A and B are shown apart, each in its own frame.
Chain A
Amino acid sequence: MLEVQGIHAAYGRVRTLFGVSMTAKPGEITCLLGRNGAGKTTTLRAITGLLPVSEGTITLDGDDLTRLPAHRIAQKRVGYIPQGRRLFAELTVAENIEVGLMACGEGRETRDWVLSIFPRLRERLSQRAETLSGGEQQMLATARALCLRPRVLLLDEPTEGLQPSMIEEIRQVVLRMKAEGLIVVLVEQRMDAILSMADRAVFLDHGQSREAFIGNALRADPSILTRHLGV
């Protein structure tokens, strides 16, 4: 279980999070919701250790991650699929995957597993990441995170700017990881995706977590979403 309790964080002097709490469980998809600038990306960056947390705690199965440097958190098998993909642009597809594999000492078997999930990447192994199409880049960003054999998968708007068939492909992968018992934290803006996938939802507003719902409550009353997101 991933537990975030009352974290505060800042970009330099710009304070951004003022008490965010959330709980994400294995085999569930926890959606992080909020308007633009609410602090969703910032919360994920705090979990990965890329942004230092000044108050509050982050624990994974009781293991305290709060003050660990980012590379040590990755080694605890926390896979991150950042907003905008952030691939190693000038490295090849194969090299991007290799970096993912090195993080937790994974080898050939994991590589084959990941490439079996995204067969299109196998055809493009020697291509530079920056030359991939947007959809392929998202696949590679996802593949790179899966190379950690993650216990936790953090996805930040993975379907931003993708066509419907690609969105569906990513959705299937996320559902598959949920079925495999991963802790999935998903930042998502699209209502239909939230309603069909979320087992829990946490609403952020101005750097604070406001309310949390379980998925069924959202589905029973989708107007909650409209109210909180103002869409």
Chain B
Amino acid sequence: MEFGPHLMLATLEGAVTAAILALTAMGLSVVFGVMRVVNVAHGEFYMLGAVIAWFVASTLGAHPAVGFVAALVIAPLLVGSLAALADVLILQRISYDPERTIVATIGLLYIIQQTTLMTFGPDARPVEAPFNSRIALPWFEFGDGGFALYWPWGLSITSYKLFVIAAAVVILAALWLLMTRTKAGLVMRATQQDSAMAQAFGIPVARVYALVFGLGAALAAMGAVLIVPIQQAHYLMGGDPLLLSFIVVIIGGLGSLPGTVIAAVLIGMSDGIISVFFSPTLAKILATLAVAMVLVFRPQGLMGKSAA
């Protein structure tokens, strides 16, 4: 394939990575932003979302689309409830003390991972995509006859991948509306600004925290349900999303939602493109290098405010 079409293909693959990453990192970012909690178990909520998606789809056994839609509703709800429960039973008990929270969420990581290994098993399992037609994409050339479109062999994407990108955009837009246009969003933002004053003004902060922790986990689970028809569900699949989410949240600026989206697009796209042209390992190396540079030269991140 020529360079142009090849780059377009890589960009589209990158956009899929970016879409999933934006959802997952957004979950981490919301939790950190509102609660100042660094959730090391975030990747495991992602993994659980994928495993539950497999379970729902394979149990229902109906048309793949039915199983998929059911998973898209059930997995985030279950994972979100589990996370909210973990918040009440664990994080609240240790008063969100930063060090203890990190240790506690590391513990949670292993509990979730090992419980999944014991029940779901060590095998990777596929979920069938609800639809998966191949769409050939056109490219252009300036030949003797002037500008012309043609369909290069191999330049194509599946309809499902386009759907993933669109779904992520819709979910992120809905989240943005929730945060900026609703009372629930106002409550979360007020709590983020000053939790003590939020409480002094009638906001049940403990309940808000449980909901936010659940929302963060649910976002990761949604990302996982979307990815699982492309990558199989596996009990160790939470590692990469956790690392990349941390990279995105640091580059974007801790707790900044627009920064998180921008950084997810940057990291996701470059990950996709570099993986296609070079290797996935190089992509991770460069992303980690980018974090190091950001930490050195702009510690508050792209969109974060400097700690005055």
A interface residues with partner B (beta carbon < 8 Å): 48-50, 69-71, 74-75, 80, 82, 86-91, 95, 98-100, 102-104, 144, 148
Q: Mark B189-211, 1 if CB is under 8 A from A, else 0.
A: 11001101111111111100000
Please tell me if B186 contacts chain A, counting CB pairs below 8 Å.
yes
Q: Is the Cβ of B194 less than 8 Å from the Cβ of A88?
A: yes
Q: Which residues of A contact B201 (CB under 8 A)?
A: 71, 74, 80, 99-100, 102-103, 144, 148
User: How many Å lie between the Cα of A95 and that of B24 in the bound state?
Assistant: 28
B200 to chain A, nearest CB (A): 5
Report whether over half of chain B's contact residues are helix, strand or loop; otherwise say mixed: helix
- Interface centre among A82, A88, A91, A103, by most chain B C-beta atoms within 10 angstroms, is A88
User: Nearest A residue to B185 by beta-carbon distance?
Assistant: A95
Q: Tell which of B186, B196, B206 touches A98, judged by Cβ atoms closer than 8 Å.
A: B186
21 interchain pairs, CB-CB under 8 A: A49-B200, A69-B199, A69-B204, A70-B199, A71-B200, A71-B201, A71-B202, A71-B204, A71-B205, A80-B201, A88-B193, A90-B189, A91-B186, A91-B193, A99-B198, A99-B203, A102-B183, A102-B187, A102-B201, A103-B203, A144-B201
In the complex, the answer to whether B187 meets A90 with C-beta atoms within 8 Å is no
The answer to whether A88 touches B196, judged by C-beta atoms less than 8 angstroms apart, is no
Q: Give min CB distance, B35 to chain A, whole Å.
A: 16
A50 and B196 in contact (CB under 8 A), knowing A88-B190, A95-B186? yes
- Given A71-B200, A71-B205, A98-B183, 18 more A-B residue pairs with CB atoms under 8 Å apart are A49-B199, A69-B204, A70-B196, A70-B199, A71-B199, A74-B202, A86-B197, A88-B189, A88-B193, A88-B194, A88-B198, A89-B194, A91-B189, A99-B186, A99-B198, A103-B203, A104-B202, A144-B201
**Cα distance A100–B197 in the bound complex, in angstroms:** 10
B200 A50 Cβ-Cβ under 8 A: yes
Interchain CB contact under 8 A, B200 and A70: yes
**Chain A positions within 8 Å of B205 at CB level:** 71
CB-defined contacts of B198 to chain A, threshold 8 Å: 88, 99
The smallest beta-carbon distance between A89 and chain B, in angstroms, is 6
Instruction: Determine whether the beta carbon of A86 is less than 8 Å from that of B190.
Output: no
A108 to B194, CA, bound (A): 25
User: Distance in Å from the Cβ of B209 to the closest Cβ of chain A?
Assistant: 13
Contact B189 A103 (CB under 8 A): no
Asked if A90 and B200 make an inter-chain contact with CB atoms under 8 angstroms apart, the answer reads no
Q: Which 9 A-B pairs have the closest CB atoms?
A: A103-B202, A74-B202, A70-B199, A88-B193, A103-B201, A86-B197, A71-B204, A99-B190, A80-B200
Instruction: Kindly state the separation between the CA atoms of A82 and B202 in the bound complex, as whole angstroms.
Output: 15
Question: Which residues of the other chain, B, contact A74 by a CB distance below 8 angstroms?
Answer: 199-202
Inter-chain contact A48/B186, CB cutoff 8 Å: no
CB neighbours (8 Å) of B183 from chain A are 98, 102
Flag if A82 contacts B203 (CB, 8 Å): no
| Chain A neighbourhood of B194, CB < 8 A | 86, 88-89
**Cα-based distance from A50 to B200 in the complex (angstroms):** 7
Residues in B with CB closer than 8 Å to A70 are 196, 199-200
> Are A102 and B202 within 8 A (Cβ)?
yes
In the complex, per-residue mask of B159-194: 1 if CB is within 8 Å of any chain A CB, else 0? 000000000000000000000000100110110011
* Contact among A50, A95, A104 with B199 in the assembled complex (CB-CB below 8 Å): A50
Q: Which residues on the A side are within 8 Å of B186 (C-beta)?
A: 91, 95, 98-99, 102
Residue interface mask B265-288, A partner, CB < 8 A = 1: 000000000000000000000000
Residues of B within 8 A of A82 (CB): 197, 200
Kindly state the separation between the CA atoms of A15 and B199 in the bound complex, as whole angstroms. 23
Closest to A130 in B: B193
Residues in B with CB closer than 8 Å to A49 are 199-200
Q: Output the nearest chain A residue to B305 by Cβ-Cβ distance.
A: A90
In the bound complex, what is the Cα–Cα distance between A100 and B198 (angstroms)? 9
- A142: min CB distance to chain B, Å: 13
Shortest distance between the CB of A150 and any CB in chain B (Å): 11
Q: Measured between alpha carbons, how far is A100 from B200 in the docked complex, in Å?
A: 10
User: In the complex, which residues of chain A have a beta carbon less than 8 angstroms from the beta carbon of B199?
Assistant: 49-50, 69-71, 74
CA distance A4 to B74 in the complex (A): 50
Set of chain A residues within 8 Å of B189, measured between Cβ atoms: 88, 90-91, 95
* Shortest distance between the CB of A68 and any CB in chain B (Å): 11
User: Considering the chains assembled together, what is the distance between the CA atoms of A98 and B187 in angstroms?
Assistant: 10
A87 neighbours in B (Cβ, 8 Å)? 197
B190 and A48 contact, CB distance less than 8 A? no
Give bound CA distance, A103 to B186, whole Å: 12
